[in-house]
Structure 1
Amino acid sequence: MSEVCSCLLRDDGWKWRRDTLRLSYSPYTSPLNTTDVVIENIRTLGNLIASAADGILLRRMIGGTVRNCYIPGHLHGITLAEQATSVLVTKNEVPGNYLDGIFIGATTVPEEITCEYNWCWSNGVGATAAGIYAQAGLRHNIRHNRLGTSGDSFQSYGVHVDAACGDVEVSRNHVAGVISIGYFMGSSTAYGCVRLFEGNTTNATYVPTAYSGLNILPVRLDLGTNGVAMRKFRAQRVSLSASTTPTGGSWLVGDDIEYGDPQAGDYRGTLCVSAGSPGTWKRYGQATA
């Protein structure tokens, strides 16, 4: 059931009449637990100061979509805050905000926020900031976004995922230009913050550093025939102990770290053969000298 409100103009003022119509619409998820609110086609301009409000701020929203909006000049362009869950942020243009273009974070963490096909550039006018900053939360999906622009003189990072996040997927984004780092993923040993990092690109001419942060990068996650996760990582040998073993974190049998800097006469990668922290590792795939 959906309700449609109509109004009638009478000589004694406005009188509201409520008509109830039966429509064929049926949401994918129960309206008792989720919202299917769509916020779209908004154009708003802030005053670009530290005390400015966020352009769009969502709290305690389960489900819903923000799309096709143009949001410059605010503190953050779009913020997903306390208890926001399963919100889709798509096809927005978010330029020139005081801090981050799209900000995901709060004490009560957001979960499963999807950011896709957005263009965030020239943000961070007032401080170091990113096009998309996942500061907290679980299982966010950041994909197919365009970050920065050629010669961008404000935005420091394309995508920034903080070490406090968990299981974030970052895939198939392009950083066209920033003043510092294209992809800033957690800290050197925050192995749980990023679940998948694949298919991302940068414009080398306008991005001084393509990548920083997490030194062992998850690049693929599959399930084996026994249902156990088979995880593929990539790392420079200098970030491993004796070029073989991770220096921290918990690892599973079958975890595979491929060297990003193979050399003739050395090995292609290292494989976990006994689970632990960090477990037992053996090198494989010796290349002929």
Structure 2
Amino acid sequence: MGKQKILTDWFHRAPDAGGVQRIEAYFSGHGYDLHRHDTYAIGRTLAGVQSFQYRGGWRHSQPGVTMVLHPDEVHDGEAGTEDGFQYRMMYIEPALIQQMLGGQPLPFIKTGLSADPRLLAATQALLRSLDNPLDPLEEQDALFDLAQAMNAVSGVTPHRQRFDYQAAERAREFIHSALDRTLTLDELAAHSGRDRWSLSRDFRLLFGTSPYRYLSMRRLDLVRSLLIQGQSLTNAALIAGFSDQSHMTRQFGKTYGLSPARWLSMHRR
């Protein structure tokens, strides 16, 4: 008897831990519209061909290579063949990478794909089956190894730039304390001790996205958590600091390439 073809799109999300989200998913055809998020997206295709637009060209991921999508880079996703594709991905906050690299420009893999064995080895522990949680110390060691491998494989010699990592980190921490209200760059600058435009430049360099995008993404993180807990779309939007449900829905689609309703319907509890 031949292998039965999977027809239903699905994804499974492991419990969040330590600034890392891990998912496994299958798509039979079209997966995601063009979107971007403010984390690294690092993973591998388990079966099939995973095709996506990235930095002006089409990329085709197959088993054996590592995907490393940089924060805030626009991409989509679809099956490259009629068999669909299955993959595992982890989403890692740039701030976590910064803690391991000590404050320097983020590693950048130009094409979004790498066959370098150092990356394959460094992602092995983190991309094992999502059914069993990692030992906390094992996860921390694996993340450190991954940060070092990314830095080594990036192939980009960082230019010496003057930046204030501590000021940017103070601003980032302040954003987390004010998700439910309006923030201004002047307010962030006052809390960071850095002038607003220097802070804005440093934030992008060190965390891969702008302060506003970072705030929006943390609000969307909260929306997803609330939806899983059973909150309505309207309540989740308001609790997370969005002006209304339609505002949240637009941001959700731009960020994840899926509507909130579709995302929730695909979610495997």
Q: Please report the TM-score for the alignment, with normalisation by the length of structure 2.
A: 0.22
Structure of greater relative contact order (alpha carbons < 8 Å, 6+ residues apart):
2
> In proportion to residue count, which structure has more helix?
2
- TM (normalized to structure 1)? 0.21
More strand by percentage: 1
The structure with the larger Rg is 1
